[in-house]
Every structure is written in C-alpha cells, then in structure tokens.
Amino acid sequence: MKLVIATTNEGKIAEISSGLAGLGWEFVDLRNIRVTLPPENAASYEENAALKACFVAAQTRMPALADDSGLEVMALLGAPGIYSARFGNKDNDLERNIHLLEKMRGVTDRRAKFITALVLAYPDGFLEVYRGEVEGQILLGPRGSEGFGYDPLFMPDGLNHTFGELPLKDKQSISHRGRALQALRMAHKNGPPSRQTIKVS
C-alpha cells in the first residue's frame, strides 16, 4: 500500500516510518506533493488527526496517516493538551519548553502524560483510529537532545531517562506514539482489518 504520512514534522515522520517498517508499505512524504494541511481547530486529538488525514486522502486519492499528540500536565488541569504545538503562542520547541517550565515554577505535583491519536483515512471516507498514552513526570529542567517537542522534559514512569535521552528505537518501545503505531501494526498484521468494524460516522 502507498501511504501519505500527513505531517511536515520531521520527528513524527521518523517515528512513524520507523514504527511501521516491515509492513511492506510505501511511504509518501507530504512535503514532496505540495498539499497544505488544514488548521487543527477540533476539540480532540482524534478529531484533529482525522481532519488532516481525511483532507490529505481526498487531495491525493491515497490513504493518509495523520497524528495528533499532546502533553497533559495534571497541575495545569490538562494543559497544554491539544494546544501543545502552539502552547503560549511560542514558535519553537525550546520556547515552548521554557514556557512550560515557567508555568510550573514552584509546582510540586509534576505528573503528566503524553497522548497520541493516529487516524488512517482512505479516499473512500473510511477511517481507522488508534490511541496511545504514557504517564510520567515533568522534570525541573531539560535532559537530552534526542526526540523533539517536550521530550527533554518528560520522564516516563519506571525509567530514569527522559524521552530526550533515549535513542529512537528505545523511545518507540514505550512512547505514546509507539503504542499507537503498535496497535495499528497489530490490526494490519494479517492484512487490512474489516472496514465494517472501523467506519467512523
């Protein structure tokens, strides 16, 4: 199957293509086909991912896979959540990380979780939806230069390393996106799943 990865985020492209390697799919880079993604203005991760996947599938007439992810911090009542990529109207990962640390100055409850929703949309309108989550803590400062986004600040429960300190393969085995990708892989292990069971109205 030829599949468009519906993102221009290099980190997401690397994780998705690595996480789905071996399925025999041919990945198409959105940056090479001049399709501009629609605004992410929905109310949930799944809806935002579906907006992008459905739009790209309709424009390219190929299946498209989109991701929407977010960091939810308990002490911030779930913020930044679906606004993680534009938290504080900051322009880049470093500024968003600094903004998060400023918001959490003096906060002792550092619990947080990462969430990913993956939507695989087909040109005929059918969807597959997968979700992955991982819980952890927000550190007092960044550690590591791997990954992207809030990875240097997030330490998953049970580990002494942030996502920013883990090689891609190790991060994939436990991360929110890795878990969603694994669910997709398992669903396609013996060929495409029955569409009657995955249609979303």
Q: What is the set of active-site residues?
A: 68
**CB 148: neighbour CB atoms within 10 A?**
15
84 backbone dihedrals φ, ψ, rounded to 5°: -60, -40
d(Cα 87, Cα 24) in Å, to the nearest integer?
A: 37
- Order of strands, sheet of 2-5, starting from the edge strand that comes earlier in the sequence: 26-29, 2-5, 64-73, 111-121, 127-138, 154-156
For residue 65, how many other CB atoms are within 10 A of its CB?
26
Residue 168 tokens, joined: 């891609």
Contact 15, 168 (CB under 8 A): yes
**Cis amide prior to 80 (ω within 30 degrees):** yes
Write out the H or E segment, with its range, that includes residue 66: strand 64-73
- CA 114/CA 119 separation, integer angstroms: 17
| DSSP 8-state assignment for residue 166 | S
